[in-house]
Structure 1
């Protein structure tokens, strides 16, 4: 059974069709990359998967449950772990406090950092395990605003991990990272797929082709091709529409 399935997702903004009958699935243990040029509709599709935007037509299924009508917090509680293109971390709080906020949100409680929450042994265990998983244990008491860009990306993954996710929805996790940071993030994501599959939206084609088991290509709101990396590389329509190549 698919962990995530989209069936005919359609979204219009006036005359603009931002999502044009998109169907795709995310299977257990895989990384499925979603790529496409700027303006292809990737952000709109992500918002519909996450629950921030309701489709005009189509269905979103999470672990066999129709979640189309559910909002973002409800989908998160059902196991959708998300990272963002632009950081959504609480910069004034410490690394550990950000992870605690994620763990508390997963429990379904009101988000706050009152002292009893910080002393909650169960929440701390979840938060500290997530930080250890991404390599931020030594930075636990560091104020998030002072982290490097790459460390903030790692922290976003840790916060997503506190949800005990059934899947990860990752929006350009390589954005702004240098060669070293991209290599570290690639290694981290490669190991995460065994814990939960990843739907990866990414512009870094080297990272996409290194990580993805399958790739779907979105152009003008519609999926024009879906397949293995080798199949996508060889597809003439993809090479012309996105990869910028023409058949010789």
Structure 2
């Protein structure tokens, strides 16, 4: 029987009279990139927060590899295999690349260490961090201060943190944000290869990247998914053009 890696089932969240998400049901399949697009205020960020456990829905549920994770904390969902990167990088700029991966992975797991330096001297943690850096192409930068990385490299570093948890699925919130044309091309190529590690639920405003990468696209407007389909199907949907795309594609 077919089962998606990640799925939402009727997620609904209201803030007073504002319906931030309205009965949102989407899924993510193995080796797939499923993009979520829509205008500002469409409810994309609220949806991501519900999927990752930062916000509880008023109704609906989230399943990861068939298991209901709706009641789990953000940390527990990370341990279960939900890898997240953020719209604004959440990295320690004064620490080295490898230190960021070790400490970031512990933080994502919700682990508590009385002495951070002890964690940095733990062999298995450092080896796991270096394996993740090798996979994202940053192993040669492992002793570089995070502040000295390019914006695109910091995005790759966030992925390395997520990889230490052996994610079943990635949730990526605007990974192209702040990148120039060349940086976006490099990130697009990187994400295209990353889907082999785990499928990606991608929230992104860069339509060139979305239509180059996505196997499927879901369009949100006023908290509701108005269309889901392949890039060609979405490109040719009249209601999508009227609501969001216009002449962008």
Correspondence list, 1:133-144, <5 A: 133-144=135-146
Q: TM-score, normalised by structure 1?
A: 0.95
**Which of 123, 126, 129 in structure 2 is aligned with 1:127?**
129
4+ runs of 1 displaced by more than 6 Å? Answer: none
Q: Which runs of 5+ in 2 are unaligned?
A: none
Q: Tell me, what secondary structure is at the counterpart of 1:122? A: helix
C-alpha deviation, 1:104, in angstroms: 3.1
C-alpha deviation, 1:184, in angstroms: 1.2
1:112–1:126 CA distance, 2 compared to 1 (3 A): farther
Contact preservation (8 Å) 1:2, 1:63: yes
Q: Tell me, what secondary structure is at the counterpart of 1:242? A: helix
Q: TM-score, normalised by structure 2?
A: 0.94
**Which of 213, 220, 226 in structure 1 is aligned with 2:222?**
220
**1:158 aligns to 2:160 (yes or no):** yes
Q: Which runs of 5+ in 1 are unaligned?
A: none
User: 1:192 corresponds to which residue?
Assistant: 194
Distance in 2 (alpha carbons) for counterparts of 1:106 and 1:19: 26
Contact preservation (8 Å) 2:13, 2:22: yes
Contact preservation (8 Å) 2:138, 2:157: yes
Q: RMSD of aligned C-alpha atoms?
A: 1.6
Q: Tell me, what secondary structure is at the counterpart of 1:11? A: strand
Contact preservation (8 Å) 1:104, 1:123: no
C-alpha deviation, 1:116, in angstroms: 3.0
User: 2:15 corresponds to which residue?
Assistant: 13
C-alpha deviation, 1:112, in angstroms: 6.4
Contact preservation (8 Å) 1:37, 1:242: yes
**Which of 90, 97, 103 in structure 2 is aligned with 1:88?**
90
Q: Tell me, what secondary structure is at the counterpart of 1:34? A: strand
**Which of 21, 24, 29 in structure 2 is aligned with 1:22?**
24
Q: Work out the number of aligned pairs and report it.
A: 246
